[in-house]
Amino acid sequence: MVLSRAVLFIFLGGIAYLAADNAPELKKAPSAAVPPGYILGPNDQISVDVVELPEFNNKSYRVDNDGTISLPLIGRVHAAGLTLTEFEGTVHNLLQKQVRNPHLVANLIETRSQAVSVMGAVNTPGIQQLQGTRNLFDVLAAAGGLKQEAGDVITITRQSDQGPLNLPQAVRDPASGRMTAELKVRDVVELRDPHLNIPIMPHDEISVPKAKLLYVIGNVRKAGGFTLSDGRSVSALEALSMAEGLAPNAGPSHARILRRNETSVADRQQIPIDLKKILDGKAEDVALMPDDILFVPDNLSRRVSTRALEMAVQTLSGIVIWRGI
């Protein structure tokens, strides 16, 4: 009886040993699909192709929450915390109990274990999946960048099992072990200090709060919302300066500050303010609060009508936000 030189089947105790010296070569996925040093984790999807065992092939396998993958013939195999190469070695060793010199390759199909949340004043908030090494600037760019009304700080929170958060003034929560730190937006966006552009780790939480805003509308040269930096207060004259001064036909004597009531967010209190006297030095300047609206009417009417105020407030929905002081 003549046996094939390529394949020899020997049955010992019901276990199949296969010698496949001429088995076809399996190929890794393109390098772009497998980030260097990628560590497998729960919910990652991988494929495991074995030349000698077709029941493995053309399937995807998910890393379960306990860090294992269920594979044909060998059952549960630990995967979380391993690179693809390390995982291949583990499967190879287990398969050798049933297949002589198995030829196999594992490929990463989809990454789902290295989620990072980016929330707040970014253009595309949500969950991102890390693929390889990415720093803070990269993650913010992938979130569409910061919105115009973004505040002055970025808050980063890191889980205890992802190592230290190497940032100045990082604080550790004694209960959870999580670390939190704040960065100045300009330091990150303008890359003032490269050390602050830290590598982002799986499960980091990045939050960009909205800035506190002050609105100047009506007969001014540059109406809009102005961000308040570092929580500083602004006076009426400073706000008018941010709006580049009065426009022609402005009626500064009949200006109003519209301030939200503490008891009703929808309603605003009307506070008369005589900007003309303040500009002439005949009255003291007035401090404004975040979310105040400084409304400057025209000089054609002697008083500000309720309808004019309502129309002014309605313009806020489409108002331009300017980076303030």
- The range of the structural domain enclosing residue 135 comes to 115-208
User: Model confidence at 10, in pLDDT bands (50, 70, 90)?
Assistant: very low
Q: Which residues, at least 6 apart from 130, have a Cβ–Cβ distance to it below 8 Å? A: 111, 114, 115, 116, 200, 201, 202
Q: Name the band, by pLDDT with cuts 50, 70 and 90, for residue 324.
A: low
pLDDT digits (tens, 9 = 90+) for 246-287: 998 899 999 999 988 776 656 788 899 999 999 999 999 999
pLDDT digits (tens, 9 = 90+) for 141-160: 999 999 888 888 999 999 98
66, burial (CB in 10 Å: exposed 0-12, middle 13-18, buried 19+): exposed
Judge if 195 and 272 occupy the same domain: no
pLDDT at position 108: 87
Structure confidence at residue 112 (pLDDT): 76
What's the CATH number where 235 sits?
3.10.560.10
* Residue 122 DSSP class: B
Residues 189 and 275 in one domain: no
pLDDT digits over 294-309, tens only?
999 888 654 555 555 6
Percentage of the chain lying above the pLDDT 90 cut: 42
Asked whether 95 and 87 are in contact (CB, 8 A), the reply is no
190 and 241: one domain? no
Total domains in the fold of the chain: 3
Residues 46 and 64 in one domain: yes
> How far is it, in rounded angstroms, from Cα 282 to Cα 120?
43
**102 & 121 share domain:** no
38 and 86 housed in the same domain: yes
Q: What residue type is assigned to position 253 of the chain?
A: S
- 252 and 163, same structural domain? no
* Domain shared by 87 and 125, yes or no: no
CATH code assigned at 69: 3.30.1950.10
Given pLDDT bands bounded at 50, 70 and 90, which one contains residue 111?
confident
> Coil, strand or helix: which one is 213?
strand
Residue scoring higher pLDDT (186 or 315): 186
* 82-91, 117-126, 271-280, 298-307: the lowest-pLDDT one: 298-307
- Among 112, 115, 135, residue whose Cα is nearest residue 127: 115
Distance CA(306)–CA(191), nearest Å, equals 48
> What is residue 41's predicted lDDT score, i.e. its pLDDT?
85
Q: Of 110, 139, 165, which residue sits at a domain end? A: 110
On whether residue 134 sits in a domain, the answer given is yes
Instruction: Judge if 159 and 203 occupy the same domain.
Output: yes
Residue 172: phi, psi to the nearest 5?
-100, 135
Cβ–Cβ under 8 Å, residues 216 and 321 = no
Whether the Cβ atoms of residue 324 and residue 228 lie closer than 8 Å to each other: yes
For the chain, how are helix, strand and coil distributed in percent, rounded to 5?
20, 30, 45
Is 157 a member of any domain?
A: yes
Any domain includes 233: yes
The rounded distance, in Å, linking the Cα atoms of 113 and 40 is 7
What would the DSSP string read from start to end of 213-257?
EEEEEESBSS-EEEEEGGG--EEHHHHHHHTTSBPTTB-GGGEEE
In a domain, 3, yes or no: no
Are 231 and 204 in a shared domain?
no
Specify whether 222 is located in the same domain as 284: yes
Residue 246 lies in a domain: yes
> Which has more pLDDT, 11 or 316?
316
The alpha carbon of 275 is separated from its chain's Cα centroid by a whole number of angstroms, namely: 43
Looking at 187, 208, 229, the residue that finishes a domain is: 208
**92 vs 27: which has the higher pLDDT:** 92
Whether residue 203 is contained in a domain is answered as yes
pTM above threshold 0.85: no
Which residue is it, tokens 């809009």?
A: 224
Whether residues 72 and 135 share a domain: the answer is: no
8 Å CB contact between 236 and 273: yes
Final residue of a domain: which of 208, 223, 255?
208
Residue at 201 is within a domain: yes
* Residue 283 domain flag: yes
Tell me the pLDDT tens digit for each residue of 211-245: 888 899 888 999 888 888 766 778 999 999 999 99
